[in-house]
Every structure is written in C-alpha cells, then in structure tokens.
Amino acid sequence: MTDRGHAVFAISVAAELAGTAIQNLRVYERRGLVAPLRTAGGTRRYSQADIDRLRRITELLAAGLNLAGIELVLHLEAENAALRAMLD
C-alpha cells in the first residue's frame, strides 16, 4: 500500500495491527478519536494513517492518560504539526 490514507483494513485487522480490542476501536470512534471510512454497506475501513493514530492512542493509554486526555494530546499534536507546516 503506497497511500497512507487508503482505507483497506477491516476492523478486526485494524484492532490486531493496533494491539487493541475491536470494542475499543468502536469506543474511540464514538469519542471522535478516530474516524474510519465506511463502505456503502456501513462496514468500517481503516487506513494506515488510522492504524498509526490507533497505535498512538494505545501508547497514550499505556502512559496513563484517559480518553479525555488523549483527545487533548491528539488535538495539540495536530495543531503543532499544522503550525510547523506553516513555518516550513
């Protein structure tokens, strides 16, 4: 896969690649931490970028953050990346 944004992974594969349970992915989606694409039939499809984000969520959970804290960290990381891109 060359495009990190191409959504190809089913939820079971995404959970395995991220090292978490399928139920957790559903919770993260409900909380707005990840937004997988949906097929016409409603099946979730995750991209490599989604997998990377899920791994980051897993890392932050292991560091002791709760989901509210993780949401804030992810927002700040995205804001920081955008600011850096503007400077470059």
Residue 56 belongs to some domain of the structure:
yes
Report pLDDT digits (tens) over 62-80.
999 999 999 999 999 999 9
Q: Which two tokens stand for residue 45?
A: 């499809």
Give the CATH number for residue 72.
Answer: 1.10.1660.10
Q: Which two tokens stand for residue 62?
A: 């292991």
pTM of the model: 0.88
List the domain range (segments joined by +) for residue 61.
11-87
Report pLDDT digits (tens) over 6-43.
889 999 999 999 999 999 999 999 999 999 999 999 99
Domain count, the chain: 1
Residue 4 belongs to some domain of the structure:
no
Residue indicated by tokens 């139920």: 23
Give the chain's largest Cα–Cα span.
42
